[in-house]
């Protein structure tokens, strides 16, 4: 219960923050990979700039939603200065809560017929 309340303090997430959590949902990534993933999954519609990305990473890390991974790229394979970030358990809970919130909003929108009919697409 208390835990739920804690996660709710973060809701709603900013679009950028949610995208980042989403990008990290299936595994640890470094900064540039997050940008690429977000762009790929949004059909190139969402472009995170370096400033926006690291501003968000700093805040998410500060609130314990993500953490820096111990993993380091193998020497030679990748830039050694790169750090990898991953979701914490709590971060995952927050992302789930946000997804649920969105889901609920979507359900209500459906109930009110707030969507385009398939045939019109």
Partner 1 sequence: MQTNSTSWSQKLFRKLLRVFPADFCANYGGEMEGVFREQHREAGERGGMVGLLRLWAETLSGIFSTAPREHWEILKSDCAYAFRMMRNNLGFTTIAIITLGLGIGVNTALFSVVHAVLMRPLPYPNGSQLVFVRQQESKVGQDDIGFSVHEIEDYRDQTRTLSGLVEYHSMSFTLFGHGDPDRVTAGVVSPNYFEFFGIKPLLGRTFVAQDDEPGAPAVLVLSYEYWKGRFGGDMNIVGRTFELNDKVHTVVGVLPPVPQYPHDNDVYMPSSACPFRGAKAFIANRDARMMEVFGRLKPGVSLASAQADLATIAGRLRSAYPKSYPDNIGYTAEASSLREELTSKARPTLLVLLAAAAFVLLIACANVANLTLARMVRRERELAVRTALGAGRSRLLRQLLTESFLLALAGGIAGLFLAYGSLGLLTEFAARLTPRAREIQIDKDALLFTLLAALGTSVAFGSIAALFGRVNVSSGLKEGSAGAGAGGGSHRNRFRSALIVSQVAFSFMLLIGAGLMLRSLMKMQEVNPGFVPQHVLAMRMTFNFSKYTTTDQYADIGKKVVERVESEPGVISAAVTSSYPMQPEIVTAGPGAISTSFQIEGQTLSASEAPPVGSFVLVSPEYFKTLGVPLMEGREFSRADETKTLQVAIVNEAMKRRYWVNEDPVGKRVSADGGKTWMTVVGIVGDVRDFGVIQPAAAQFYLPQTQNPQPSALIVRTAADPGSMARAAIRAIHDVDSQTAVSKVLTLEQAQSDAIASPRVMASLLGIFAGLALLIAAAGIGGIMALAVGQRVREIGIRMALGAQPSAILRMILRQGLAWVLLGVGLGLLGAFALTGILKSFLFEVGPTDPLTFAGVAFVLIAAAVIATLLPARRAASIDPNVALRSE
Q: Examine residue 67 and tell whether it contacts partner 1 (CB under 8 A).
A: no
Q: Examine residue 14 and tell whether it contacts partner 1 (CB under 8 A).
A: no
Residues paired with 84 in a beta bridge: 30
Contact 87, 14 (CB under 8 A): no
Q: State how far the Cα of 85 lies from the Cα of 12, in Å rounded to an integer.
A: 22
Cβ closest to partner 1, residue 59 vs residue 71: 59
Q: Which of 28, 42, 52, 86 binds partner 1 (CB under 8 A)?
A: 52
Cβ closest to partner 1, residue 5 vs residue 81: 81
Q: State how far the Cα of 68 lies from the Cα of 83, in Å rounded to an integer.
A: 7
Q: Examine residue 24 and tell whether it contacts partner 1 (CB under 8 A).
A: no
């Amino acid at each position: 219960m208390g835990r739920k309340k804690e996660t709710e303090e973060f809701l709603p997430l900013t679009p950028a923050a949610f995208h980042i959590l989403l990008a990290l949902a299936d595994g640890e990534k470094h900064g540039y990979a997050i940008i690429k993933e977000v762009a790929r999954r949004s059909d190139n519609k969402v472009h995170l700039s370096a400033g926006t990305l690291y501003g968000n990473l700093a805040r998410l890390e500060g609130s314990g939603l993500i953490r820096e991974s111990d993993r380091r790229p193998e020497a030679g394979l990748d830039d050694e200065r790169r750090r990898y970030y991953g979701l914490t358990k709590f971060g995952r809970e927050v992302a789930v809560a946000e997804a649920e919130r969105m889901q609920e909003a979507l359900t209500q929108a459906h109930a009110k017929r707030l969507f385009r009919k398939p045939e019109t697409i």
